[in-house]
Amino acid sequence: MNSNKNIFSKVLVICLSGTLWINAGESLKLLPEAAEWGLTGAAFISARKVDHMPAWNSCPFFNGVSDRPFCENTISETQLYAAAGLTVLGIGFIPNNDGWLQPSNYRHSKGFLETLSATYLLTAITKNLFGRKRPSFAHYPGEDRMDADKSFPSGHASISFAIASYSSLYVFDHIGHWDRNVDKAGKLLYFATSHMLASYVGYTRITDNRHFLLDVIAGGLLGSGVAAVVYSFQNQQNSTEDSNGSSQNSEVPLYLAFSIPF
């Protein structure tokens, strides 16, 4: 992962400043909010530092074939983080069942960014701990050599499944109603489409000789798991603060967020 992640830091700053003034009239406690944003920023900065370190483990637990041809990324990091940016803007600014620019928009915009930061950090730490050689390790270019033994888990898969899982849970809970057939079909269509796209990202990591199948599955489970945990926390926070009782309880079990790419 490289400097393209600066896109995410810009989105983080924009969302922080934007959602704070959007929600200025709401009864959010300053200290807990500042702590959450601080932890999100700290997680992202820590992840970048870990990501730019050599792998900590020089004797990997397991390896596979490592002499496959080196290929350029089919899905670039810029495209992946652009998708994340569009998703957080959609969560923050598209009206949901509570209305437009409501606390639920704010909380889940923040939760989505927390999910990305935590996923990035956990992925970077795990990569360094395992130190698994990529399928194209033997042919990795010199300028990217430090990244050649960070195959497990797939960062592209963890981020893409984090995006798909968090946004799907948000759509199921906060956009439309499950008892309307049209809304139900739309929710299921979004869930299927977002996870198919995430699976495609994982598939390209294998065909590009950047990851093994196990790397992609582990990345998908990691991203989905973080999304489910953070989403549940933010949904509970939003329901607690919703004096009108308009926020819904989850219409889809959280285990559906844990989606294996293949």
pLDDT over 90 at 22, yes or no: no
Interval 108-137: pLDDT, tens: 999 999 999 999 999 999 999 999 999 999
Long-range contacts of range 229-235, CB-CB < 8 Å, 24 or more positions apart? 230/111, 230/114, 230/115, 230/118, 230/166, 231/108, 231/111, 231/115, 231/165, 231/166, 231/169, 231/170, 231/257, 233/111, 234/107, 234/108, 234/110, 234/111, 234/114, 235/107, 235/108, 235/169, 235/173
For residues 139 and 69, give the distance between their C-alpha atoms in angstroms, rounded to a whole number.
6
- Which of 99-103, 147-151, 177-181 is most confident? 147-151
Q: In terms of pLDDT, which residue wins out, 239 or 132?
A: 132
pLDDT over 70 at 250, yes or no: no
pLDDT over 50 at 261, yes or no: no
Q: What is the dihedral of CA 117, 122, 127, 130, to 10 degrees?
A: 180
Burial class (CB in 10 A: 0-12, 13-18, 19+), 63: middle
Across the chain, mean pLDDT equals 83
Q: In terms of pLDDT, which residue wins out, 200 or 57?
A: 200
User: Taking the CB of residue 183, how many other CB atoms lie within 10 A of it?
Assistant: 16
Interval 206-222: pLDDT, tens: 999 999 999 999 999 99
Contact 108, 239 (CB under 8 A): no
Give the pLDDT confidence score for residue 253 in this predicted structure. 40
pTM: 0.82
What ranges do the domains of the chain cover?
3-257
With a pLDDT cut of 90, the percent of the chain lying above it is 58
Which of left, alpha, beta for 245 (phi over 0: left; psi -120 to 50: alpha)? left
Give the pLDDT confidence score for residue 240 in this predicted structure. 63
Contact 40, 113 (CB under 8 A): yes
pLDDT over 50 at 258, yes or no: no
Interval 42-98: pLDDT, tens: 999 999 999 999 999 877 777 788 889 999 999 999 999 899 999 999 999 999 888
What is the per-residue burial (b if ≥16 Cβ within 10 Å, else e) of 142-163?
A: eeeeebbbbbbbbbbbbbbbbb
Give the pLDDT confidence score for residue 243 in this predicted structure. 43
